[in-house]
Structure 1
Amino acid sequence: MESFVNPFRPGAGQPPPYLAGREHEKIDFEKLLRQSPILKNLILTGLRGVGKTVLLESLKPIALQNGWFWAGNDLSEAASISESSLSTRIIADIATLVSSFTIGETEIKRIGFTATSETVEVKLSFIMLMSLHNNTPGLESDKLKRVLEFVWDVVKTKVKGIVLAYDEAQILKDKAADKQYPLSLLLEVIQYLQKKEIPYLLVLTGLPTLFPNLVEARTYAERMFNITTLDRLSEEESREAILKPIETEGCPVTFTEHGIAEILKYSSGYPYFIQFFCKEAFDAILQQIKVGIENPSVTIPEMVNKLDTDFYSGRWSRVTDRQRDLLIIISKLANANSEFTNKEIAYKSVQLNNEFKSAHINNSLLKLIEAGLVYKNRRSKYSFAVPLLADYILRQENENR
């Protein structure tokens, strides 16, 4: 018992001990790897906490087992600020895979009375690829196309294709005011390569704002991707995520049926919340066992307070008082945790004697979208970008009464 490590991992992007409920998505990805030529790429989207990053990482070994290279990274503001910075990010990721490939030899001559020369292999290094990029004439897209074509010509006898996989891709946007179009660049380059039947497969994960950004950048983007929207796990899948990790030999902790039911209730099937509650419950039970308590118990509502602090409070602290008023009104809608409209918000505000005009609601929602709390979906309705945010808001309101 002393050496048994808590198997649950609620950290951002941390792989759980058992990945429940994502077999269908893995099968679909394997089908994409079998395309010839590549006609469809992949988008994994969903709210925070549904396991997008974890699923993305689980696809990597599938690609490798099928004979593909896998290059990728988390997209950052720095990598997406301009076309050239995105190109540099992609080239750097590719270079880590291909730097051992030799593309020729060069002779280095020594200077001096006893001059000698040395033959050195030329590798497909980051420096070499950036030199090729910089010396290619034309636009930034022409430079990146040339580099990726060159890479494929070198490695094509060794692999079936190259997956370019990027997480947090919702931050990738065109910036017309700055005359920078990194998202359009990425789509244009991938479409160009695939038209030439060069097997680069693009996999992007991000919040639900990702796909609208793609379509806004290039209308043909809708035809380039299969979209997989990750949702909460079913009750059966949630039970597996709870129980499988503690079925290992020697595990000193068990969960009662009542405890499992409480975790199911408060997690609502969201993988991050399942990991969070299970980790907290596991630690609490283990400590009680160590001090000799025969029937250890935990209360999930106490853990909810810790979840509020760890997961929600940072986001809540960044909104203004008037935005909080609007969010409280939204949270009292019957459909607050699914989809809602401007009209529904306005009507509810009148009912609650805290009236918001339609124009004010629109402006506030735009600011909340920028803050990452709300997003507008393809049906022109709004949803919370953070799972079960309405429940948290109502808890905060009750505490402040």
Structure 2
Amino acid sequence: MDPISNPYSPGAGTPPPYLAGRDELQDAFATMIARVGVGNPVQPLVLAGLRGVGKTVLLLRWREIALKSGWATAHVEARADADLRGQLGDAIVDLLRQVSRQYRNRERVERLQRVAVSFLRATGATISRGGLAFGVDPEPGVADSGSLETDLTELLVELGHAAKDEGSGAVVLIDELQDAGSDRLVGVVGACHRVNQERLPVLIVGAGLPTVGKVLSDAKSYAERLFDLRRVGPLDREAQNQAIAEPAQELGVRYEPGALEALEVLAGGYPFFIQTHAKFVWDVAVESPITDRDVAVAAPRAGDQLTRSFFSPRYDRATPAERRYMHAMASRGDDAAPTAEVASALRRRPSDVSVQRDGLLNKGLVYAPERGLVAFTVPHMAGFLRTLPTHEFG
């Protein structure tokens, strides 16, 4: 097949050519902003899932839906080494630029700009995306206390009233929520609660690893009732087949059933793996229909790419001791492993290897689905580890 016309797009957060199996989550977001728009309370959506399941892609699709509905939007990727308040400041700049162009009530817009300047000056952070060029002075006594919860709440309430006057809304989408940390999410959760109580058309939604629900609950005990936490898992067989076959069909190419079955085994329903394997299958196939033989030829090439771009970079982040812990986990199988069994495989007591476990948790390489269990945040990581030389373990 012509590699130039290859329709598949593996990448971090890269939208696939056909977003299969996620209609319910798209519809849920559209319904949510429609309810907020008419003044009804909602539970803001938060996505939770492993890496490679398409959470970022869904956030970007939600952003498209909001924009088409006339809402102002901003996207934030939380980072453990960044100041969340400064990152939110960047997002507010984006929002205010959109609002300044769209809203007709200039007096309301100017007050909102002054409140935003107060918030941004109180951050003590550098606004990285082009600076703030509203040309107004701050609004004294509003959003300038230095408390993220107080200031963000006052800013979002002001934004909500302005949006309501315009018959519109605003949404901030925060990716990698777990990296923001519970201590820094206190203000976000509190502000989100207030605007929801006042039924204002402002939303904060987000996505994160499976631990994101606990991170939010640790920030505020009521967070589990405030947010609608949606688990995002692998696609079922029908959705995976659609994700592969539909883009090819648009180009006059079809897959034999055996090829789709072989890809199902290799990708396991995970969107990133689907796009990677399908890309290499397309490149090696000579003609339509694509066969299971084409899949077999492409599989080692796709596997090499996944090793270089997906598995190895994460493995390399771990210390030698943490790697041994990961290998011990992989020796227990593909599912979540009891921490006691992992320690036993290392011939140690659980307390002796808690530093390694905590290091992996902090790096986002593993998570604890339940007390006493540990699992990889990356699909198929255990299988990858078992392909490495045995001297890496022990």
**TM-score between the two structures when normalised by the length of structure 1:** 0.81
CA drift at 1:81: 1.8
Structure 2 distance, partners of 1:165, 1:22, is 18
Pairing of 1:2-401 with structure 2 (within 5 A): 5-33=5-33, 34-35=35-36, 36-66=39-69, 68-77=71-80, 80-81=82-83, 83=85, 85-100=86-101, 101=103, 104=106, 123=110, 129-131=116-118, 134=121, 135=140, 136=142, 138-140=145-147, 141-174=149-182, 181-251=183-253, 254-285=254-285, 288=286, 298-334=297-333, 336=334, 338-347=335-344, 349=345, 354-379=346-371, 381-397=373-389
Structure 2 distance, partners of 1:173, 1:240, is 37
The number of aligned residues is: 362
Larger gyration radius, structure 1 or structure 2: 1
Structure 2 distance, partners of 1:86, 1:307, is 31
Structure 1 distance, partners of 2:153, 2:392, is 57
Aligned AA (2:43): K
CA drift at 1:41: 1.1
Counterpart of 1:12 in 2: which secondary structure? Answer: coil
Structure 2 distance, partners of 1:82, 1:68, is 23
- Contact 1:51 1:272 (8 Å CA) reproduced: yes
Partner deviation per Cα, 1:42-91 (whole Å, 9 max, x = no partner): 1111111000011112222333444543332323456x5254x2442342
Counterpart of 2:90 in 1: which secondary structure? Answer: helix
Counterpart of 2:389 in 1: which secondary structure? Answer: helix
Aligned AA (2:316): S
Structure 2 distance, partners of 1:133, 1:399, is 52
CA drift at 1:228: 0.8
CA drift at 1:39: 3.7
Structure 2 distance, partners of 1:152, 1:86, is 20
**TM-score between the two structures when normalised by the length of structure 2:** 0.82
Structure 2 distance, partners of 1:355, 1:376, is 21
Partner deviation per Cα, 1:300-341 (whole Å, 9 max, x = no partner): 13431232122111111232333322222211213x3x3222
Bigger helix share? 2
CA drift at 1:123: 4.8
- Contact 2:244 2:278 (8 Å CA) reproduced: yes
Structure 1 distance, partners of 2:31, 2:374, is 33
Structure 2 gap segments, 5+ residues each: 122-139, 288-292
Identity %: 28
Counterpart of 1:164 in 2: which secondary structure? Answer: strand
